[in-house]
Amino acid sequence: MTYLIDGLQYANWSEKIFRQMRDGGVDAVHVTITYHETFRETVLVIEQWNRWFEQYPDLIFQGRTADDVRRARETGRTAIFFGSQNPSCIEDDIGLVEVMHTLGLRFMQLTYNNQSLLASGCYEDNDTGLTRMGRQVVSEMNRVGLVVDMSHSGERSTFEAIEHSTRPITISHANPASWHKALRNKSDDLLRALGQSGGFLGLSAYPHHLKDGSKCTLQSWCDMAALAIDLVGSQNVGIGTDLCQGQPDSIVEWMRVGRWTKAIDYGEGSAANAGFPAMPNWFHDNRDLAGIREGLLASGLDLATIDGVMGDNWHAFFDKSFGAQASPKEIQNAAE
Query: Tell me: the pLDDT tens digits for 137-189?
Result: 999 999 999 999 999 999 999 999 999 999 999 999 999 999 999 999 999 99
- Alpha-carbon gap, residue 267 to 176, rounded angstroms: 19
- Between the alpha carbon of residue 139 and those of residues 152, 182, 325, the distances in Å are 20, 30, 10
Q: Which is nearest to 7 in space by CA: 288, 167, 204?
A: 204
- Alpha-carbon gap, residue 334 to 332, rounded angstroms: 5
Give the pLDDT confidence score for residue 187 in this predicted structure. 98
- Alpha-carbon gap, residue 79 to 5, rounded angstroms: 9
Give the pLDDT confidence score for residue 259 in this predicted structure. 87
Over residues 311-336, mean pLDDT: 82
**What is the pTM assigned to this prediction?**
0.95
CB 93 within 8 A of CB 101: no
Structural domains of the chain, with CATH? 5-335 (3.20.20.140)
CB 313 within 8 A of CB 238: yes
239: CB partners within 8 A, 6+ apart: 5, 6, 7, 202, 203, 205, 289, 292, 309, 310, 311, 314
CB 300 within 8 A of CB 289: no
Reported as a single tens digit per residue, the pLDDT across 18-58 is: 999 999 999 999 999 999 999 999 999 999 999 999 999 99
The pair phi, psi for residue 236, each rounded to 5°, is -120, 20
Confidence of residue 272 (pLDDT cuts 50, 70, 90): very low
Average pLDDT across the chain, whole number = 94
Residue 269 has pLDDT above 90, yes or no: no
- Alpha-carbon gap, residue 278 to 214, rounded angstroms: 6
- Alpha-carbon gap, residue 78 to 81, rounded angstroms: 10
**How many other C-beta atoms are found inside a 10 Å radius of the C-beta of residue 2?**
15
Q: Which is nearest to 84 in space by CA: 13, 158, 146?
A: 146
Confidence of residue 109 (pLDDT cuts 50, 70, 90): very high
Give the pLDDT confidence score for residue 252 in this predicted structure. 83
Residue 267 has pLDDT above 60, yes or no: no
